Amino acid sequence: STVVLVFEAPSVETEDLSAHEKSRPESRNFRFTVANGERIKMGQALGD
C-alpha cells in the first residue's frame, strides 16, 4: 500500500528574500529532511 501526501508550503524565490533571509534561505522555505529510498517511521519529520 502507498500513501501520497500533496501539500502547500513556503517556497519563496531567492530574489524575494530580505537581505537577512538571503543568508539563510532555508529559514523561510520548506525543505525535506528525508531522501528517496530512506526508511521512515510514523511521527518522524518528513520535512520542515
Partner 1 sequence: RHSEGSNLYLPGATVATLMMLGALHIRRMYEEKQVDEARRQGREPEFVADWKATFLQMLPLRFISRTWGSLTSVELPVWLRPHVYNGWARAFNANLDEASLPIEEYVSLRDFFTRTLKEGARPLDPSTTCLLSPVDGVVLQCGQVTGTGTMIEQVKGFSYSVSSLLGANPHVSSSSSSLLEDGQTTQNPDESEATSRNQIESATEADSLRASSSQHILTRSPSETGNKGLFYCVLYLGPGDYHRIHSPSDWDVFYRRHFYGRLYPVNERAVRTIKNLYVLNERVVLEGRWSQGFMAMAAVGATNVGSIELKFEPELKTNIPKVGLSLATINSRSYGQNGLNVKAGEEVAVFNLG
Residue 29 sits at φ, ψ, to 5 deg, of -95, 150
| By the rule CB under 8 A, 34 interacts with partner 1 | yes
| By the rule CB under 8 A, 6 interacts with partner 1 | yes
- Site for partner 1 (CB under 8 A): how many residues? 34
Centre a 10 Å sphere on the Cβ of residue 33 and count the other Cβ atoms it contains. 11
| Shortest distance, position 32 Cβ to partner 1, whole Å | 5
| By the rule CB under 8 A, 10 interacts with partner 1 | yes
- Quick check: 21 and 28 in contact, CB under 8 A? yes
Residue 18 to residue 25: CA distance in whole angstroms: 9
Contact positions vs partner 1 (CB under 8 A):
1-13, 16, 28-30, 32-48
